[in-house]
Chain A
């Protein structure tokens, strides 16, 4: 294992994180909230100190880097980033309990949006900004950001591929252009462009600038931290619709936007995953709207709430405009199923990803065909491309690991004595990076009632879900740390 190289990456990430903290520090200074300003100053100092120390310890690294190093590097980076990222909450006294603060920032970086806070509006703007910004930077990935800054043409620089694969969601991650640095730049430029567009549309709806920035961050990362206790419910229907559209846009594979930019429009509309995603969203909206008819005054309001909730859950954002816990169980079941599905591969959304489920179903169909005629040779295709058996095997392994971890977490979380629905939806919601669950963790409630043990388990679930399990799972494997 190349510890020095991993240490160097983590040290760079910490320095970068400290730089990100400067903006909320300025907000705190302008607002004149002394406790928050001190919290951020201490956090920045500690983070920079840790980053520099690690950087000094890990000089003279060699560039031999394997897939395993990539996984461990991403896993450790995210954990380090979370531990230092929660310091502002803890040191400013906004969240006095450390485990709570950790839960909150991991929920931010993993774009989950589950909170342990009951009164968000009591927080100062600097803390709210840091909370929402964590969604934005966690959505596309910090290492991808870092890769956009690295110098090209370093010998043996293929290792960046391992990092991209480990941090980016999806079963089959690839580069858009030959250079990793350019790929990362393109991804972030698309991301920044869409975020600015989102902000612009929110401003057109007369939203407060600070709230529009935070909401745009929450939408872009498909996170879900709001600045209001009632999430998006208090805003005008126009703003709610803007959020619905942008949540769905951020749930689309970013390589589709790249293809649009370079003029391959046809390929985008032929993309199986995109078609499946949009079809599923429309069908869910129609079914739920029909199921909840009569609960709201007008048809427009019914469809708006149905569309918003479906978009919020399927992209794993977790905003809410209404308490869907009061909806009939058919609608709730559809939402629970959508929690598992998640958005498209290569988007900022979480969940199992539409593309991966497509592969699983196609593979299943092939297995059924094999039972009928054992000697038939058949390949699995996606967008007319043959999918290699290795990708299929990894997808199945992912599914198995997913099942095992969800069940294990479910059992541990059950110790706290909440209802089965609460516990199950809490685990599913955290694992798929959504935010709200059902009943006691529903959209109007929060995760504050859980014990520390459950919070830690749910924190790990969020990390595992965001990084697609393996970067976190390998940290717990003894073989990883063997020489």
Chain B
């Protein structure tokens, strides 16, 4: 499949990494030759220099033979014009545009029609939703939702005082008091699929599959204090801050936003009358202490600079703020960051590119495609949701008798409303939803790919 990516920025680079690993024919368009040269040296892709909304540039990039165009330049307007022009040149082309200006949010439906967009993505809004979910269930470093919100894979860190410490995984259901399944363990930066006699140590991070209604029990029995978050401080008044503050206020929480620039403070306070907006330098500990950070339930660092966000989160951590979320816009996820006291990390570009990759896979494989794809454990593993249809083999066969490929683990079977964390005697039927976890280096496109051939 031929894919054009317009704009080799943060999202463009994340997409290039994921899609080129999956073997698609990628052509990148950007007006900065240095960025392109860098990408071409790293990945097996082609690059075209120029304005992506210009016909001759699109022509040179091969828009007429392309199947999909992803417009992810820094400007919404360029993205829209790019998709419009490209679609006029090739009627069969699918187009995805990044549109993130809050003012356009209400007219997306209209614009999709006018600009012939197959899909629009908004990394900031996605990031804000992700952060809200983390704040709703504090204690989890990450949450990935499956089966229409009925199942989740959550990330937990095993602390020194965790009741799970020094216990083998087979004892887990007794300790947490409900049926859950550990699908991946990350120890010293390396992810692996553990067996039942694997003994957990402090510092491990585990990914647990659990029905959503069991999450509260899980937190309670793990002695993770689950006091609901009431007061949240946001540092930085960018687009994510706006979306997140809006969501938090709707969820009945108190929000304080600290921002350095007066104009940005004024703008956000115009948009969000109920938020408390403070003009101040969040990188100074004094400012944060004066604003009473130590009394807040959560801190979210959302400035435009990754390094500053990390520093702010560390200040928050030293002031013993219970829940901290750090946004990293430029950096790629790396195991080094897990050692830092900066709480949960949210990568907006990764969330956005995951959404697009899901679309691409669905496009490639119209039937039997993954319903949801989430990359977990710093990209070392992937959790995929599939629907069992009439073409799926081995319906009704106990899992212990299935011949699955190495590194493929079935972590959940959902029969309609009924969620089952599977064991060896479980089986699936047509119409069920399966959630699988695979190691990141081979990709599962359709459910039939998991069986040994």
Contacts and interface: CB of A to CB of B under 8 A. Distances in A.
A294 interface: no
Interface in B1-57: 2, 20-23, 25-27, 33, 39-46
A152 B43 CA distance: 11
Interface residues of B, number: 18
Contacts of B44: 152-154, 157-158, 160-161, 178-180
B38 to A, nearest CB: 9
Interface in B283-339: none
Nearest to B2: A178
Candidate in A154, A178, A179, A388 with the most chain B CB atoms within 10 angstroms: A178
B46 A153 contact: no
Contacts of B441: 155
A6 B431 CA distance: 50
B213 to A, nearest CB: 39
A154 B41 CA distance: 14
A158 B42 contact: yes
B84 to A, nearest CB: 24
A160 B43 CA distance: 9
Given A177-B25, A177-B46, A179-B25, A153 B20 contact: yes
Contacts of A374: none
B353 to A, nearest CB: 16
A162 interface: yes
Contacts of B41: 67, 158, 161-162
Nearest to B27: A178
Contacts of B27: 178
A175 interface: yes
Contact of A153 (B2, B21, B39, B40): B21
Contact of B21 (A155, A175, A388): A155
A156 interface: yes
B323 to A, nearest CB: 34
A158 B40 contact: yes
A357 B45 CA distance: 29
B92 to A, nearest CB: 19
A152 B23 contact: yes
Nearest to A180: B44
A178 B46 contact: yes
Nearest to B25: A178
A272 B214 CA distance: 71
A166 to B, nearest CB: 13
Nearest to A390: B37
Give the secondary structure class of A's interface. Answer: loop
Interface string A353-385: 000000000000000000000000000000000
A385 to B, nearest CB: 9
A149 to B, nearest CB: 14
Interface string B395-421: 000000000000000000000000000
Contact of B43 (A158, A162, A177): A158
Nearest to A67: B41
B50 to A, nearest CB: 11
B4 to A, nearest CB: 10
A161 B22 CA distance: 18
A403 B449 CA distance: 58
Interface in B404-451: 441
B21 A178 contact: no
Interface string A259-279: 000000000000000000000
A388 B37 CA distance: 12
A259 B328 CA distance: 44
A178 B45 contact: yes
A153 B22 contact: yes
Contacts of A177: 25, 46
Contacts of B45: 158, 178
A158 B22 CA distance: 14
Nearest to A388: B33
A304 to B, nearest CB: 42
A175 B43 contact: no
A161 B40 contact: yes
Nearest to A152: B23
A189 B44 CA distance: 20
Contacts of A178: 2, 25-27, 44-46
Contacts of B25: 177-179, 182
Contacts of B42: 156, 158
Contacts of B2: 178
Nearest to B38: A158
A179 to B, nearest CB: 6
Nearest to B42: A158
A153 B26 contact: no
A174 B44 CA distance: 12
Candidate in B25, B26, B46 with the most chain A CB atoms within 10 angstroms: B46
A388 B26 CA distance: 23
B34 to A, nearest CB: 9
A388 B32 CA distance: 12
Contacts of A158: 39-45
B70 to A, nearest CB: 14
Contacts of B23: 152-153
Interface string A53-68: 0000000000000010
Contacts of B22: 153
Contacts of A175: 46
A388 B27 CA distance: 20
Contacts of A182: 25
A157 B43 contact: yes
A30 to B, nearest CB: 42
Nearest to A156: B42
Interface in B259-279: none
Candidate in B26, B41, B44, B45 with the most chain A CB atoms within 10 angstroms: B44
Interface in A123-169: 152-158, 160-162
5 contacts: A152-B44, A153-B20, A153-B44, A178-B46, A388-B33
4 tightest Cβ-Cβ pairs between the two chains A and B: A153-B23, A158-B42, A157-B44, A178-B46
Interface of A: 67, 152-158, 160-162, 174-175, 177-180, 182, 388
Given A153-B21, A178-B44, 6 more contacts: A154-B44, A177-B25, A178-B25, A179-B44, A180-B44, A182-B25
